[in-house]
Structure 1
C-alpha cells in the first residue's frame, strides 16, 4: 500500500508539471501579503539527514516556502505540494537558486525521516523535510499562525493525527512570514507571486 501511495504521488506530480505549462501567468499578486509579518519561533527541528534546522535561523535564502502537512494526507497535502513543485519548475534558473521549499510533518510519529524523504523526492529532490516531537512542531506552527493537531482523542473514539492548517507561507531572510497562500493556489499563481516577492527589493 505504501508503494502504491508513493507511485500515485509521483504520477500526480508529473501530471501537474505537464499541465502547468498550459496555463497563463496571473497579472496580480494572488496570495495575501502580511502587513504584520509573523516571526518564526526558534524551535530546533531535524531535516531528513538528521541535521538540526530552525525556521528562525536557517531560512536564509531570499525566500523560503513552508507548508505543514503529512505524507499520508489524502487530499490537500498532495495538491499543494504538486502545485509548489510545478511552480518551482516554472521559475527561471536565477529565481530557483533563491528559493527553498520546506515541508514540516504534522504526524512525526508516523513520518520517519526515510518516509518523509521518499515522499518529497516524488515532488522535487531539493525540497527540505522537517520533523521533531509533536510539541516542537506545534510550537513552530503556532508562531506562524498554523494550527497543528496534538493528536488528542476525539469524541468518536479515534485520534486526530496530522490535522493542520493548509496555508503555505513565505519566509524572508529575517525569518518572518511575509505572505501566505491558501490550498487553492495554482502553480502559475505561486510562480508569479514568488517572482514578485523576489524582485520587490531589487
Structure 2
C-alpha cells in the first residue's frame, strides 16, 4: 500500500513538472497593458550618428520605445536585457519587423557615441536617440512617459530622481495603445511581440 501511494505521488509530481514546462498557461496570455491611444510627438531628436530622427519616421510594423539612461545601474539594464533576449526569440522574419528605440533621459552625458557603445552591448541595430532635454521631455510626454530632469551633477549630468520604466509599442501609424512594465519577462515580451505582429493582439 505504501509503494502504491509513493507511485501515485510520483505520478502527480511528474504531471506538475510537465504542466510547468508546457507551452500553455501564462505564456499564451497577452501581458501588455492596453490604454487609450497615444500619438507620438513629431519633435525631432538625433540618432547616434547625429542624424535628425523623429519617432514619426519609424516605419516598422512594431517599434518599441524605452526611455532610460546609460548610467542607470538597475532598471534600465534589466529592461534592456529582457528586450534583447525577447527579440532573439523571434523568427528572422518577425525580428526584421521590429525596431527598438532607446531614448536617453540624460542627454548631457549620453552623447551619440556613448549611446552607441551602450546599445551595442545588448545587440545590433538598436536605435539610440538623444537631443535637448526639453525636446526629449516633449516626446516622452506625448507617450505618457515621465522624464524628470532631477538635480544637475558636477560632471554636467543629472541625478534623475524618477523616470518611467514602461516600454511603449508604436504601430506604423505612430500611435500606441499598448505598453509593458519593467517586470515583463523576455518570454512574455516575445509572446506579445509575436501576437502583435501576427494580428492576434491589438496595437493601434
TM band (smaller chain): 0.7 to 0.9
Q: Aligned partners of 1:64 and 1:185: how far apart in 2?
A: 17
Q: Is the 8 A contact 1:135 1:150 kept in 2?
A: no
| 1:50 corresponding residue in structure 2 | 50
Give matches, 1:179-194, under 5 Å.
179-194=178-193
Give matches, 1:23-172, under 5 Å.
26-34=27-35, 36-55=36-55, 57-152=56-151, 160-161=159-160, 163-172=162-171
User: What secondary structure is seen at the aligned counterpart in 1 of 2:28?
Assistant: coil
Flag structure 1 segments of 5+ consecutive residues without an equivalent. 1-21, 154-158
Shift of 1:186: 0.4
The answer to which structure, 1 or 2, has the higher relative contact order (CA under 8 A, 6+ apart) is 1
Q: Aligned partners of 1:183 and 1:40: how far apart in 2?
A: 21
Corresponding pairs, count: 176
Q: Aligned partners of 2:179 and 2:188: how far apart in 1?
A: 12
Q: Is the 8 A contact 1:64 1:170 kept in 2?
A: yes
Q: Deviations over 1:96-141 (max 9, x none)?
A: 0100000000000011111100000000121100000000000000
Flag structure 2 segments of 5+ consecutive residues without an equivalent. 1-20, 153-157
Shift of 1:152: 4.5
Structure 1 or 2, whichever has the larger Rg, is 2
CA RMSD of aligned residues (A): 2.2
Q: Aligned partners of 2:105 and 2:58: how far apart in 1?
A: 19
Shift of 1:41: 0.7
TM-score (structure 2 length as normaliser): 0.81
Which contiguous aligned blocks of 4+ residues in structure 1 show a shift greater than 6 angstroms?
none
TM-score (structure 1 length as normaliser): 0.81
Q: Deviations over 1:46-71 (max 9, x none)?
A: 0001111111x212100000000000
Query: Per the alignment, do residues 134 and 189 of structure 1 end up closer, same or farther by CA in structure 2, a change over 3 Å counting?
Result: same
